[in-house]
Amino acid sequence: MYDAIVIGAGAAGCTAARKLAEQGKKVLIVEKKKHIAGNCYDAEDEYGILIHVYGPHIFHTGNERVYDFLSRFTDWHEFRHEVVAQVHGQYMPVPFNLHTLKRVYGEEKGTELEQKLVNVYGMGTKVPILELMNHEDAELRMIGQYVYDNIYVYYTMKQWGKKPEEIDPAVTARVPVNISYDNGYFADKYQGVPRCGFTKMFENMIDHPGICIKLQTEAKQVLAIKEKKIYFAGEPFAGDVIFTGPLDEFFDCKYGRLPYRTLNFVFEHFEEDDFQGHSVVNYTVSEEFTRITEYKHLTGQKCEGTTISKEYPLAYTGENGQIPYYSIANAENQKLYEAYRMEVSDIPNFYLLGRLAEYQYYNIDVMVEKAIELVTGL
């Protein structure tokens, strides 16, 4: 019945299915959730406010091919993402930049420190905080230490469940101080969200006569690997399989569960029209949650009242309802992942694609690009 089976209806899976269908192939998408769009899924809450059910997603890319492909299925609400951190009761732009510098140290002292940063590094550069923390100049060390203490370390502890001494200095080294007045979180040419929502964009994408979809179905309910051969519904399957789901769970975690961080979202509605004045506020020195998202500021929706979500990170255990969001990159976990990858590595028509299947963190545009490239080669 099918030339190809795609496991998962998120960004990678929907893109792959569409490109396969446009090559004239009959495609089945198998999705364990009751909806498409993966973690990009958005829907109106009971108050009529469009929320991102699995946390905020903002599309950003400099890739013309990806932007043009997605633009076939949506118009865009252009949105230039700016994030602020709530630090000791005050909102400050992050990543730390010259606006933040003057917010922390005041106009006069901030101007002095700005001149020093510009003289040493140049306007428009990005300096890792670890470099500042180890600088011979005491005031530059002071700036680096402030960013580490007030913006980085506690937030990282919450996000990854670590103690300060467990945080890899190599990760700290990548946290920048931006020597500019640009508050933009991303530097990409294209930034925004689909005007009618991510879910609608993916609905339009898989609206093709060559695509069928089966929701609320686990991959292993219909697909199996036996003696290095693929079986679909109990019968040998000679077509292509593009697998975007969690590889360890497909093999019943027989080598152990791959570690992830998950998130618990607590949504709240308020009758007031504006809760925090920003789409996203990070809580870097206080609170158990990491950030609050106010969705109206992100989507541009005009309506009465407002809905927010608070994010509480925790370890992923695989219990019902949990979502594996962030793979935990280290040598031990990569070795465990490789054990699962080897289970399918010599099956020529079985392809791994996306965050879960590859145990990597990818932005939306990268997943779409990888899907296009994969299918183009089939």
Rounded to two decimals, the pTM is 0.96
Longest CA span, the chain = 74
* 3-state SS class at 271: coil
What are the tens digits of pLDDT across the range 93-111?
999 999 999 999 999 999 9
The amino acid that residue 67 corresponds to is Y
Give the per-residue pLDDT at 319: 93
**198-205 helix and 11-22 helix, angle to the nearest 10 degrees:** 20
Nearest to 197 by CA among 13, 310, 49: 49
DSSP H helical ranges for 279-376: 295-299, 331-341, 355-358, 364-376
- Do 375 and 25 contact (CB within 8 A), yes or no? no
Is the torsion defined by CA of 88, 93, 97, 99 positive or negative? negative
DSSP assigned state of 231: E
Give the per-residue pLDDT at 305: 98
- Do 144 and 135 contact (CB within 8 A), yes or no? yes
- Do 267 and 307 contact (CB within 8 A), yes or no? yes
Q: Could you state, in order of their start, the residue ranges of all structural domains in the chain?
A: 4-77+194-255+328-376, 83-178
CB burial string 306-326: b at 16+ within 10 A, e below: bbbbbbebeebeeeeeebbbb
Per-residue tokens: 10:
């998120």
Give the per-residue pLDDT at 165: 84
Q: Give the residues of the chain that fall short of pLDDT 70.
A: none
Tell me how far CA of residue 59 lies from CA of 51, 88, 192, 374, in angstroms. 15, 30, 5, 21
Residue with the two structure tokens 């686990």? 218
Please state, in angstroms and rounded to a whole number, the distance separating the CA atoms of residues 15 and 373: 10
4-77+194-255+328-376: what CATH class? alpha beta
Give the per-residue pLDDT at 173: 76
DSSP H helical ranges for 122-205: 129-133, 138-147, 153-160, 169-172, 198-205
